[in-house]
Structure 1
Amino acid sequence: MSGYDNNPFADPAGDNPFNDPSVTQATNSNLESVDQFSAFPAHPTDSLAVHTTPAAPYQPAVLQPSTEPSPQATAAAAQANLLRQQEELERKAAELDRREQELQTRGSGVKENNWPPLPKFFPIKPCFYQDFSEEIPPEYQRVCKMMYYLWMFNCMTLFLNLLACLAYFTTDASYGVDFGLSILWLILFAPCSFLCWYRPVYKAFKTDSSFSFFFFFFVFFCQVAIFIIQSVGIPKWGNSGWIAAFTIIGTNKAVGAIMITVAILFTMCAVLSVILLKMVHSMYRRTGASFHKAQQEFSQGVLTNKTFQTAAAGAASTAAQGAFQGNN
């Protein structure tokens, strides 16, 4: 009877392929379907809020410049430095060439004497050439000019001494000796001081000559002693110094005032000469001059002097002739 309870229109159980136990187990399993699968599983929004770190504000990237110059910049700077040095050297070389040409031009031409500055119509012509800016180095020009001014100041003082002695002579005829000697001192000391100590120091500064320095020191030391004697004013010596001035001021105040003025000038000459002597000596020590160099310069100057050579040759020939005649 069980056979009648079955549905005659139902498919036979054995013919339905989906009734297979393996298929039924696979379709009834708890596995998720493929279309519901997500590679990124969902998370609660709260956990995202906790674990999310806020991004920092955006800042543009700034490239820091390199402190070390590039090899190209270093090479360019070195080349520019070399070019600048080359231009400086070329400029100095051109300046030296120009000065050398000027010196050659001056040396080829004959320098006309310009001292003393006499007028052209005067029968006596200048005897010396003098130019501080051309012949004296710049570091010595100031002292050399001061020596020249001292010489002129000395000449003026000697002239005023002559007038003072003349006034002294008018008060008493016995002082005629002083007036005569004052004329002699003016005629003698004015040119001799120029030749004996001013021109040597001018030449010493011009050529850095040790011999000229030593000659100047020897003569100028004597000149300082003469200045001191003139300022003292020993009677009958032809100087209007302090002693002679105080001797006459009691009898004639006007002549005494003139002589006191001259005594002050002589004292100033003595003081200035001592100061300039020290200044020249300090410069002499910086020039490297020495007594040995002075001896060499003197010997070379004497041996190369044509006058000395002629005199020596004449003396040698005379001695040889005398010896030859004596032997005969």
Structure 2
Amino acid sequence: MRRTFWRLAVLGIVLFSFPGLAQAEKAYCDLKIEKTVSPSPLVSGQQAVFTIKITNVGTDACPGPTYVVDSGAPGLAFVSASGPGWICIGQTCTYLGSILPGGSATLTYTYTVIASPGASITNCAEVRNNNDRNAANNRVCVSSKVVALPGRCDLTCSVKVSPDPLIAGQPATFTVTVTNVGNAACSLSNQVVVPPISGLSFVSASGVGWTCTQVGGQVICNYPGTIPSNGSATVVFTYNVTASLGTTINFCSNVANKDDTNPGNNECCVRVPVAAGNCDLVCGKKIEPHPVAAGYPVTITVQNVGDSPCPGPTWISDAGITGLTFVSASGPGWTCVGSTCSYAPPSRPAERSR
């Protein structure tokens, strides 16, 4: 009888000391919030991304909705918030799905840093879910210093062409403007390189402060001076258009500097068609001296003011002048029969007279 009593007593102690043997612990939802920021330190005038991770460290699922509110901070200007499965309105985001034990949901907040260098910013966020049994891990804050944007040289370029369209057989100029869009000067080794271009024959290149040479078909121009932030330097390339009427010329140039931090914007191009141009002849008549004296010539000048050559022949006929008697007509390159003359070579650029 005593032995049975002691056996029952020991069993009672065991059940009292380990209640889990009698009843399993109830599962629970427990959301934990974590936050990181990039870059760190923050850079004045630039954007910063705060990444928030919500993890269920409990033993039961956390059904939606789950809310996250990021409070921002003085010195930060809100830009956007988003994440897979999240619906964000302003700085409040809602996750309608269920977060299983060990599972997580991530979202990001983007701000522009408007604080001055030297400031310190603390940004906090909270997570809420009506099923969460532990509020102690529902709030998180990160602090970061604000620094100035590091100095960087960043060259880009633009190109303008004249005339547009190009005229077959005529010269054309391509004006390349090199601009420093960085926040620090670009010094010593600024360079523009134009590769060989089909349909164009190089003539010259020049610009204030630039030294240009043609090497193996490509044209290389160096600017040893300093291009300050938001400053620019211009160089002009002249070519003869050898391409045929109806074709298109693709002119590209590349800029470089050994300190350039952004090579992605170093090329600039322009596509321009080749046209025939226009022949436009004008003529003028001059009689000297005044008043008219016997034996002095009448000079007629024919000039092409168009943008394309005027192929020969070119004819001119003088109807005479009352009070004057025709004697003869002549001029370099002209063939005259009576008062009618023809000129076979192109009349541009030289002016011709008779």
- TM normalised by structure 1 equals 0.17
- TM normalised by structure 2 equals 0.17
